[in-house]
Copies of this chain bind each other. A is one copy, B any other.
Amino acid sequence: MANLKCLENFVPSEGNVYSEAEMRNINIKILKERGVSVDDIAQLSYWAQSKYLDSLTIEEMRESVLEILGKRDQFHAILLGVQIDVLAEKGMLDNPLLNILTHDLGLFGLDEAIAISIAGNYGQIGVTNFGNMDVNKPGKISLLQKDKNRCNCFLDDIVGAIAAVAAIRVAQRHAIAKATGQLNI
């Protein structure tokens, strides 16, 4: 029996490599099973950038989140992070790790380490934007952390990192467009 229902009958590819469309599809299913939608993440990205970018729309962020959800590093982070969360939730990990994760010990920093490793994919400014989300916990991130029925130790950070990267990707496009006077870059 699979730990995640949506992966119950998953048949892995021979080379363990997947196309962007496959990775995006799997990511969306896993996030859905854990209560996170593409729009939840797009709202976080919008929260991070709307004060800087006048013409920003949720739709633009939604497209950016979908783009990021097709990337391999993000795919691996979701696969691993959610798997650990679910195993902790089911009590299938050994102590002392089990209690560290289910109590979300503040001194445990490997959830942040994994999130930072994917937040830096579009430059160091993605890392600072992830830090802002991790500390201030807007919207969905706060809901994930407060959920008493689930262990979201890794998921809240990974969602924050994906939102940060999607936001920075859009911010960079706007900055380049503004600087060069072009709309399409």
Q: Does A149 contact B (CB under 8 A)?
A: no
Contacts A17-B180, A96-B12, A107-B172 given; indicate if A136 touches B127 (C-beta within 8 A): no
Is the CB–CB distance between A100 and B125 below 8 Å?
Answer: no
Give Cα A116–Cα B117 distance, bound, in whole angstroms: 9
A interface size (C-beta, 8 A) = 67
Segment of A34-42, A61-69, A87-95 in the binding face: A87-95
Copies of this protein chain in the complex? 4
Given pairs A17-B107, A130-B131, 5 additional interface contacts (CB within 8 A): A7-B94, A76-B110, A83-B97, A107-B125, A120-B120
Is the CB–CB distance between B127 and A116 below 8 Å?
Answer: yes
Q: Does A135 contact B (CB under 8 A)?
A: yes
Contacts A94-B83, A113-B113 given; indicate if A105 touches B178 (C-beta within 8 A): no
A94 contact set on B, CB distance < 8 A: 2-4, 7, 10, 83
Q: Which among B12, B129, B179 is the interface contact of A131 at CB below 8 angstroms?
A: B129
